[in-house]
Structure 1
């Protein structure tokens, strides 16, 4: 579900900013407001709802895509669609570049975790049940998704690996984290956050691989079609998770009734 959400975040972000020509600034503003709205709905929910939760994950992923692009890119012709002279309304981008952008985002993420640590709250997401706890969690998610986009774009565009090899590299790193689950000296919470960050560059590179032209090493499937398919996959998985959650609630209530009868 996370990989589907992050890949959709990449293709949908590029769809609005590049294919529809809204530009990074305007798209980032719109998508950040959508993130705030979905977050308010999630925060007001009194119990876990897969649709609310994964909608916020998707909104952080989509907003993170254009936030990263706005930070790292500029008005250079290489970032414009063929034949275009400008990209959307407002500033074209800050042009910080991937190293500087990543350094800023890493610093922000570390700062969030330091504040989180100072509050005395655990980093285990299974126990998150307060407003302050959720704010810290979603702040970390938004920054980590933006950072992951920068990492993915750097691997795809600037490292020389290309889209397919970048995907294989990140899949290999995720496989290593999976193997480390069996090492008792490594915290599962640490592995979770490392994997959470790495799924974002996987989504960024996979999204680029699906949508970029054949000449650049992509499959040239386009952002609209790829986004539609990924959205259908994600909503199918969300529906499955929702059914499982309802079964768990019913099973828990049945167990409570049975215990009371006993």
Structure 2
């Protein structure tokens, strides 16, 4: 029993600080992805290849690590959200699938990833991530969720006509409902976690767009480079101030 109590995962304990950093990381993914694809003029496809390479290297390093390293974990999260931004934009805009079509396809892929993960491992709870196979499922699922979040955020803000602030209020409101469900209902904590994890991405996407899109389009017209650097510094400060503990593994 003592050994079980000391067993730790290589993913962080889910706390308020975790969610603050997660939202900042997803916002950085939007501004950083747009900085490469638009400001640098690399385009969606080339930017996707670059971030995908970073994502693969980071995931391999994460899986091979002997314990939880906060810096490595958050670098991997940022890699998933930047590749999610450029991949979703490539599918939605360059391939002409559209926001609704892209969101539907990515939602299907996300649900399939969660379904296969549950069938193979028996659970999709963070507390069960204690093997390379479980970690691989975790990161693939996160990558799909980050990509879906970009498409869903763009669809809500643009196609649905809510704008960046309206979309942010919608996603923020739904996240608030999840928080209330956590405190006042018996709904599965695992289901609530993934619901919150998925919805923080479109929230970050619309907040990122609000920061760097032109004023005429409802944004603040901030520099994508400046916004990205500011968000990165915020993440570093938060990760330094709030101790990141590894999640305990359920046995």
Q: Are residues 119 and 167 of structure 1, via their aligned partners in 2, closer, same or farther at CA, if it must alter by over 3 Å?
A: same
Q: How does 1:125-144 map to 2 (within 5 A)?
A: 125-144=126-145
Q: Are residues 162 and 131 of structure 1, via their aligned partners in 2, closer, same or farther at CA, if it must alter by over 3 Å?
A: same
Give the secondary-structure state (helix, strand or coil) at the position aligned to 1:181. Answer: helix
Aligned pair partner of 1:42 in 54, 62, 76: 62
Is 2:234 aligned against 1:233?
A: yes
Q: How does 1:1-262 map to 2 (within 5 A)?
A: 1-73=21-93, 93-241=94-242, 243-245=243-245
Give the secondary-structure state (helix, strand or coil) at the position aligned to 2:183. Answer: coil
Distance 2:193 2:244 in 1: 22
Asked whether the equivalents of residues 70 and 244 of structure 2 are also in contact (C-alpha less than 8 Å), the reply is no
Give the secondary-structure state (helix, strand or coil) at the position aligned to 1:64. Answer: helix
Distance 1:171 1:26 in 2: 32
Shift in Å, 1:155: 1.3
Q: For structure 1, which runs of at least 5 residues remain unmatched after alignment? A: 74-92, 249-262
Q: Deviations over 1:145-189 (max 9, x none)?
A: 000000111112111111111111111110000000124431111
Distance 1:119 1:244 in 2: 29
Query: Using CA pairs below 8 Å that are at least 6 residues apart, which structure has the higher relative contact order?
Result: 2
Distance 1:97 1:136 in 2: 27
How many positions carry a matched residue from both structures? 227
Q: Are residues 244 and 34 of structure 1, via their aligned partners in 2, closer, same or farther at CA, if it must alter by over 3 Å?
A: closer
TM-score by length of 2: 0.87
Q: For structure 2, which runs of at least 5 residues remain unmatched after alignment? A: 1-20
Structure of larger gyration radius: 1
TM-score by length of 1: 0.83
Asked whether the equivalents of residues 129 and 135 of structure 2 are also in contact (C-alpha less than 8 Å), the reply is yes
Q: Are residues 164 and 114 of structure 1, via their aligned partners in 2, closer, same or farther at CA, if it must alter by over 3 Å?
A: same
